[in-house]
Structure 1
């Protein structure tokens, strides 16, 4: 088991790793819209929050030795399901023709007032 931490994504805010590699899989912890320098994008639009989360996803995947086209499963937690169209548009542009399995879970509230959080599982 290998614990992943990259300075190209925000530091964990608690007792967890950005990701864990076990066997041929990478398990990514919940990713929030926080810049690598620690800026919390709580006042950003759903589009901007989603873009930052996906940048963080790319950085963590790279540190683990994987890429976005190897993502198997994504879970998206969203605080306002009416924003799903916007989130899905950014998500679709990011993944292109790759279509990982996905769950969308409406929740209230999220950490620090964020609108979205994402976790993923990827292959190496």
Structure 2
């Protein structure tokens, strides 16, 4: 199997032994994105809608680097610090799609990197 690593300076640099995304077998696997502003490296915090927008903007930058868009996304996983945030996150997340939404699960977890409230990962199909 051949794989291609796709990273961009328009999304936060990985903080461990992983890449922003990997293209393989006709799919783009995007690592979980948290609300870090790549311009200054600072966390966006205090407003779950702003945090979600930043996470989605980071994903948009990775998709763009791979010459893809949210139309190519087939699967999403959303991790939340608290399910009480679901409605606001869902509202922002949904605004990035034009319909034909991807498959998705949303789960609450005990903790997320850097203490953030939301982390989002996606899988996109290169062949749509």
Normalising TM by the smaller chain, what interval?
over 0.9
TM-score by length of 1: 0.95
Structure 2 residue ranges without an equivalent (≥5): none
Higher helix share: 1
Alignment partner of 1:40 is 2:12: no
- TM-score normalized by structure 2? 0.92
Give runs of ≥4 in structure 1 deviating > 2 Å: none
Separation in structure 2 between the aligned mates of residue 84 and residue 22 of structure 1, nearest angstrom: 31
- The number of equivalent residue pairs is 123
What is the aligned-residue RMSD (CA, Å)?
0.9
Residue aligning to 1:22: 24
Q: Distance in 1 between matches of 2:46 and 2:70?
A: 24
SS in 1 for 2:104: strand
1:11 match: 13
Please list every run of 5 or more consecutive structure 1 residues that lacks an aligned counterpart in the other structure: none
Given that 2:71 and 2:98 are in contact with CA atoms closer than 8 Å, whether structure 1 keeps it comes out as no
